A and B are shown apart, each in its own frame.
Chain A
């Protein structure tokens, strides 16, 4: 039985997740000063939430011989991750970084259908993600909202292709406002394309997401517009979201735990994250130049992306 401690989620959710995990005991990481993880009885640590775990905390966790799973909205910088994964490899522990959206049942269904034979080659993927709080910016130099970077990663994951061209435009909600909207247009070899819309300027309240995938033999649509229930409480009816519950966390944790239990080599996720960072750096270039930029993940290496870091 693997002993897993979780941070970044509240205790009641962790309790509910624990009841659903096979092969591991799941508890909340106790509050402790950074670096004290060595004193915690556990085999692995899983981090969720918006902010990235402190780099010293990760390093100390590795030194203490604990595996780590990191699925925070903002990840540590790519340079830090590379160094930490090297440390983990030499220490014989496993670090895995993951986009928490991979756990969403809706996105997993789309991913699996794209890998199947029924829908055929994708032609166009369109995503919208609107939020009411300003998106935390990435640690890396491209300085984009972290949710948009996660969407870029999601696009690479779903398509299993890298784009060949990137065009991005942005607009502030008000003059001088950091909030606003960013639109990313991707072109892929063979004619595939993607349109990605991100906004962090909604009024306080619910956000909105949708993802449509148009393929040669069919299409898939997941849309908060459709996944709403109505409440009649006087006045204008309220449309309440039907979210995907705890399953995203349960799915990701179960995969991690099962992988650890199998004692077989596991992907760190670094390779795709490097590609994502390179793509994000290209989006930044396109925004700055106001023109399309050819994307070659070899040419736009993450190291190049980091060269521009402040």
Chain B
């Protein structure tokens, strides 16, 4: 019987899907929820609710939770600004770390986390979507050499969701929408992926997914970035100077070309959550993959416009990520998205934002 890893959940201020995803695997169990005592009361409420639902304690002291509950793993899903800090504190306590995206809101924090993970010799996994059936299928095809050497890869990553009122809806004289307050209020429908005081556009909030696909499928490093971005759909993005639509061209190692179209493009733009596709051209063939397959069409009278008509099925993404993490702990091996890779992805979308601002091609650190 393999060891079961006990997990401390360090905040579910943003989402609880990471913690729920991890325990789809029988080798993980939740032991405690914890947060710092001085976080706002609404965070304590969310943490407490989740702890109650899981029938585990909630403690307002992170170091105590890491010390006193015999945990081997920390799961971090706070607001973005605290992601790295919580992960670093867990790593310093010699806990393996699973973290929600984005990695951080500044590159120096990413560097600090990478160094700490290395020094503490613990495993790190950034939660991602690389285990989705279609992505796994693409990886198998490429690994088998079916399309030869990849020449270019293009990812569309559109979330057909709204984020508050549409752009242009603010009346003259009204103040700009407050990012933090909007994110807190958006928790009810799960559209608070950009939770934090620092406004974040779609490149920061969701860019990890398409960039994660590109990284996993090619294994190549990004060298340079050219990007365009705009706040095209939502007032909250326009008011806070962040993008809800972006296009990115990447030049990579070995001359590989990659592109990405990403946006939170509004509920009306797709009947089932958004068009997410991969186009890959190789020296001996090409692939066109729909990330949402397999799915089942479900339609009925009075159906809510928020309900996807095509529902994804047979995804083992959560299990596969957790399984990979358990294996990494057992063997000391790599995870599907380790700290260095996560940092490289952060540096890529940071470069994309700079390119969009300056109009220039930007080197990736």
Contacts and interface: CB of A to CB of B under 8 A. Distances in A.
A214 interface: yes
Interface stretch (A45-53, A60-68, A120-128): A120-128
Contacts of B265: 123, 214, 219
A172 B131 CA distance: 31
A202 interface: yes
Given A174-B283, A193-B230, A124 B247 contact: yes
A299 interface: no
B164 to A, nearest CB: 15
B151 A123 contact: no
A214 B228 CA distance: 14
Interface stretch (B9-17, B110-118, B137-145, B249-257): B249-257
A195 interface: yes
B359 A165 contact: yes
B167 A216 contact: yes
Interface of A, secondary structure class, is strand
B269 interface: yes
A128 B279 contact: yes
Interface string B209-236: 0000000000000000010111111000
Given A169-B249, A195-B259, A219 B154 contact: no
Contacts of B151: 171, 173, 180-181, 199, 201
B290 interface: yes
A225 B154 CA distance: 15
B152 interface: yes
Given A191-B230, A216-B233, A225-B290, A197 B152 contact: yes
A208 interface: yes
B156 interface: yes
B360 interface: yes
Given A167-B226, A180-B151, A185 B286 contact: no
Contacts of B251: 169
Contact of B279 (A185, A192, A197, A218): A197
A40 to B, nearest CB: 44
22 contacts: A124-B245, A126-B261, A167-B249, A171-B256, A174-B283, A183-B259, A185-B228, A185-B249, A191-B228, A201-B151, A201-B283, A202-B281, A210-B288, A212-B275, A214-B263, A214-B265, A216-B167, A219-B158, A219-B265, A219-B270, A291-B360, A292-B361
A130 B152 contact: no
Nearest to A202: B286
A187 interface: yes
B361 A203 contact: no
Interface residues of B, number: 43
Contacts of A201: 151, 281, 283
A124 B122 CA distance: 42
Contact of A292 (B230, B261, B360): B360
A113 to B, nearest CB: 13
B268 interface: yes
A180 B290 CA distance: 24
B194 interface: no
Contacts of B281: 130, 181, 199, 201-202
B286 A218 contact: no
A178 interface: no
Q: Which of A124, A165, A170, A192 has the largest number of chain B CB atoms within 10 A?
A: A124
A57 interface: no
Pairs A-B, 9 closest by C-beta atoms: A191-B230, A219-B269, A123-B232, A193-B228, A187-B228, A193-B247, A167-B226, A185-B249, A225-B288
A224 B277 CA distance: 13
